[in-house]
Structure 1
Amino acid sequence: MEDLPITGLEELERHLQTIQDDPETPLDEKLFDEVELQLTGRFFSTSCLLCCKKVMQANLVFEENRKFSEHPSQGISAPTGLFAVLSHATIIKEHKYVSKNSNILPLIPRLLPSLSQILTTYQKDPTILASLAVKLLKPIPFTQVLTLASEESLIQALLSPAPSANVLAITVIEKASRSPGDTAILSIMQGVVKSFLRTWLSTPHVDVGEKATRALGDLLEVDCDRRSITPRMNGMDLASRIPPGQGLLWRRLFQDHDIYEMIFSLCSSQTIGTGEGELDERQKSLAQARLLRILPRLAALDFHAISHTNFTDVEVRYGLQGGEQGILWFAAVDMVNKEEDMLMHITVIDFFAEFLDVMSTTEITQSMMNYLAALLKKVTEADQTMYKSLESIAMNPESSPELVDLLVRLNQHHE
């Protein structure tokens, strides 16, 4: 396939070089738009093969860091050796196109390195730069992107006040959801994961928060190393066709003390403030809503992970009492100040409706039933509005039989 000519390409390359030499150079928005609008092609598969020797070297480095699963609280960061291997690996690309006129691939080595370098230090609004970079990144696999963007540059983009820079970084991170191997690599990038979670919970930009929520759910679904709950429909168990992951990203979130504590701190109503690392009332509500939104999905993947803990010190600090544990309990019971934040009170009620609906379509063990019954008892005894909401769901003829059955069983469990 011959490369299609791109009007303005050489001029854009010179413009990017000028910006690198002088960051105060104004962006030529018209030139960027002209080139970006000419980019064509839809990719339905992209594979990236590393030469066998380099893959073996990378695997050795990765295996050395699997001790994270045994000692997660030590906060292991991604080894530089892994990225050195990736940077020098022989890349063999096989691309298939829906459109034969795709012209993005030849532009990647010509434009993306310059864009990546500029974005790491650019002090003005990077929307135009980030838009073009996102389009160029689309066909590139996660491991190959890591040869173009360092961990530090991803962290800088995640922590940038510019939402376009956040979106660019999340676009890179969500590529790891294409395979369990990619999510495993992401899991050992502790700084990137921590910055991603902080941005997810603390960004004031709704579109960035929504994109991060979807990306996190997709990543954890691919990385899930077991299905603790078996989905069922009409009495028939449905085995998942998704290949199991290694669970390393789950461990990074729920067995890394620093990250676990950060999530609690950002979401707890106890820590409202305007100081560094703190969230004001509005942003705190957004963080709480984002955590509540993703928990039903996580419950269907690994209920044990969100209902147990290795860090009772963190949970006691943020309100959990003896016998209570898990980020699920924290979010459902202790996270929100329901008396002062009526909107979040309603959000918690809506969360329970969605959460129990998800649980009603899963196979629930006795230990899970005990946990759910204790959780519901705790919530409904202190919240009559919640009790009436769940009662109305049970009495509603439009509620699914599975959901009504679960509510009846939970009610009978603690009578």
Structure 2
Amino acid sequence: MADWTYQRTLEHIKALAGDPDLPPDHRIFDEAEMVLPVYFASNKGRHEDLEILMRTIAANLTDSRRADHAAAVNLLIKLFDGWTWQQVCDFGTQSIPYKDGLADGDAMVPFNRLMIALLSKATQSPSDAEHAASMHETMQALVRLWLCTNDMGVASECAELLLNLLKVDIGAPVGGGGLGLVWKRIFSDRDVYNVFFSSTSQFVADGRSKAQKTIAQSRLLDWLPHVATLNWGAVANVHHADIENAYGSNGGLLSYVSTKMVDVKDDLLMHRCLIDFYSNLLRAQPPEDVCSGTQYSSMALQYLTEHNLHTRTIAIYLQLPEAQTDAFETPFLYGSAANYVATYASVYPDHFIGSEMRLLIMKRLHTTLNRRPAYWSQQDSPKHDLHVLASLPRMSLLPNRDGNGPFSGTPVSYLPCRATNADVLNTLATIFKGPPPNRVRPGSSNHLDGAFRKRNQEEAAAARALYFHYLASNPGFWENVVSHADTIAILDCALAAINLIHSVITANWSILRPSLDLPQMNFATPEVGCISILSPPAMQHIMPYLIRPPRTFANLVGGRGDTESAAYKVALAKYDALNALSTCLQAEVEKSPEDGFDGILATIRKRLATGPFSREGEVGGSIGTLES
């Protein structure tokens, strides 16, 4: 069959070359795409036949009389699968028109994809990447195509290709195996470097509309943090001062992108994208130990702080005059600014706790979360503020550093558990769950590792303290959570309630020495989350809920469909929570066999053996459905 497919495809391509008006037979090309790549990959002796077919296709692509080459290009891309860069070069470095194939235009999209597919072969080794970097006009055309094309798929492939070339050729100074020739081509070559500026500046008249320039700006904003992760100096340092100064920048590419490229007064959408860029930039650089010894910062945070971008962005969230935004702009930018605050607080917790912004942010949360009980269940949730709250260091959420102040002193106290919503329940789940266990940054110093371990232990202890503070302040907490989990009609709230149960079961808790003070309570305060679930007041509500069969709507006429799907999602989440309880409890039994949890564990395993959707109690309902 493969031989017949090969012959038929070759004959059809020759027929297309002889008659430009003959339409391509897509069935032939589709069959060839499925059969021939696999066939030639497993029959290396037929490589000569493969090259004949590929060269015939390539020759046909140069026929300007034919408008549609997409089918042939797709087949050629498939046939190049598994090739190395050296094989591509042997196929015809001189005859492959990389520069022309990377030209912008709707009709050029198939050729763009082919050239990108071929150049991607150079990402397999540093030497291949260096060879690709030596093609000056090709690299310039690739950068221009990425920023200027109207095809989102082509732009995404270009961005990925450029990033992969930089990764493989990252250079000796930052730990890679290459010589940095790709980096030199992109940042040291004046012609290539200038494309970043000319393609994104609104002040360069090149025939492209403002909307097209805006798209180019957003692509550069999305790509640059990834490059900053690989080599901060490449994006921050000055490379060609005359080019950078011509576009109003007194620094490198980062300075232009973060302060000059976007007109924040004229383009509100791009202002929002710019704030998201700041957040991504914070994540690009992990915290480092700087001179203070206790304040962990990074090059990214220092840069944003020095250029007043850090303060101005937080001011948008705090709605301070320093934000320099009007009443119309603030609601549109608020979510992105809140995300920046959340990123800053979660990635740089020590810096956040030691900053002047901490008290202002806490004050803002007290204002935005202090609402009437009916508000939470009947109106839109303040999800951006809840995101900030869930991202803050838990030690900063305690009533005070020792945990012995009034619980009303923390914004967590405003979160209701009765008249509530899914966002609130998920926020509580995040806070009570604690930090990820054993979080250590790879490649960091022993001093930093010790600091991170201490921070994790503090966060774990604070999560436990906040849980018991909240439980003491809300005695009906678990009764309300089970009520929400059992209300399948409100699916998002039910799933959030089960997520809260699951988070406490698997919580990463710890106890500091000296320990954080807990409120006066008439029940036990276990050190482990799963044990707290098996202790009053949680046990009388959680265990019966997890053990009993899930609710089902099979006893209703027409019970299948969306409602039954919701019931299954809840049942599956409930089953996962019970399974997590079994796993955690088994670990506790192995550590302390004398605690007497064997009977509970046996009961849990018996329920787990029936599966997520136990059929107990459904016989009458099923018969009722059949009779109807």
| TM beyond 0.5 | yes
Structure 1 pair 390–169 and aligned structure 2 pair: CA distance change class (3 A)? closer
Structure 1 pair 401–111 and aligned structure 2 pair: CA distance change class (3 A)? same
Structure 1 pair 24–14 and aligned structure 2 pair: CA distance change class (3 A)? same
Structure 1 pair 399–355 and aligned structure 2 pair: CA distance change class (3 A)? closer
CA RMSD in angstroms, aligned pairs only: 3.4
Other-structure match for 2:226: 297
- Per-residue deviation at 1:131? 0.6
Other-structure match for 2:274: 348
Contact 1:300/1:362 (CA < 8 Å) preserved in 2? Answer: no
- CA deviations on 1:354-386 (whole Å, 9 max, x unpaired) are 110221356789994796155541575599538
Tell whether 2:117 aligns with 1:196.
Answer: no
Tell whether 2:259 aligns with 1:259.
Answer: no
Match of 2:179, SS? Answer: coil
Other-structure match for 1:402: 347
- CA deviations on 1:177-229 (whole Å, 9 max, x unpaired) are 1110000000110111111111101000111111111111111111110454x
- Per-residue deviation at 1:244? 1.7
Contact 1:267/1:335 (CA < 8 Å) preserved in 2? Answer: yes
Q: Which segments of 5 or more consecutive residues in structure 1 lack a partner in the other structure?
A: 43-94, 229-239
- Larger radius of gyration between Structure 1 and Structure 2: 2
- Per-residue deviation at 1:13? 1.4
Structure 1 pair 343–390 and aligned structure 2 pair: CA distance change class (3 A)? closer
Structure 1 pair 290–393 and aligned structure 2 pair: CA distance change class (3 A)? closer
Contact 2:276/2:336 (CA < 8 Å) preserved in 1? Answer: no
Match of 1:159 among 93, 103, 115: 103
Alignment of 1:203-218 (within 5 A): 203-218=149-164
Q: Which segments of 5 or more consecutive residues in structure 2 lack a partner in the other structure?
A: 292-296, 318-322, 324-333, 358-628
- Between the aligned partners of 1:310 and 1:10, the Cα distance in structure 2 is 54
- Between the aligned partners of 1:125 and 1:406, the Cα distance in structure 2 is 57
- Per-residue deviation at 1:150? 3.9
Match of 2:5 among 4, 8, 11: 8
Match of 2:171, SS? Answer: coil
Match of 2:91, SS? Answer: coil
- Per-residue deviation at 1:118? 2.1
* Number of aligned residues: 333
Report the residue type matching 2:30 in the other structure: D
Query: Looking at both structures, which has the greater relative contact order when contacts are Cα pairs under 8 Å and sequence separation is at least 6?
Result: 1
- Between the aligned partners of 1:362 and 1:6, the Cα distance in structure 2 is 61
Report the residue type matching 1:7 in the other structure: W
Structure 1 pair 6–103 and aligned structure 2 pair: CA distance change class (3 A)? farther
Contact 1:336/1:345 (CA < 8 Å) preserved in 2? Answer: yes
Structure 1 pair 102–143 and aligned structure 2 pair: CA distance change class (3 A)? closer
Structure 1 pair 269–411 and aligned structure 2 pair: CA distance change class (3 A)? farther
Percent of matched pairs sharing the same residue: 25
Contact 1:40/1:104 (CA < 8 Å) preserved in 2? Answer: no
**Is 173-182 or 145-154 further displaced after alignment?**
145-154
- Between the aligned partners of 1:182 and 1:411, the Cα distance in structure 2 is 50
Structure 1 pair 408–383 and aligned structure 2 pair: CA distance change class (3 A)? closer
- CA deviations on 1:113-168 (whole Å, 9 max, x unpaired) are 12222223444122101110110011111122123344651222211533222111
Other-structure match for 1:337: 263
- Per-residue deviation at 1:403? 2.9
Other-structure match for 1:377: 308
- Per-residue deviation at 1:252? 0.6
Give the TM-score, by structure 1 length: 0.70
**Is 31-40 or 244-253 further displaced after alignment?**
31-40
Tell whether 2:244 aligns with 1:315.
Answer: yes
Alignment of 1:6-85 (within 5 A): 6-39=3-36, 41=38
Structure 1 pair 126–215 and aligned structure 2 pair: CA distance change class (3 A)? same
- Between the aligned partners of 1:245 and 1:106, the Cα distance in structure 2 is 34
Contact 1:333/1:379 (CA < 8 Å) preserved in 2? Answer: no
Tell whether 2:143 aligns with 1:146.
Answer: no
**Is 104-113 or 215-224 further displaced after alignment?**
104-113
Other-structure match for 2:181: 248
- Per-residue deviation at 1:36? 1.8
Contact 1:7/1:35 (CA < 8 Å) preserved in 2? Answer: no
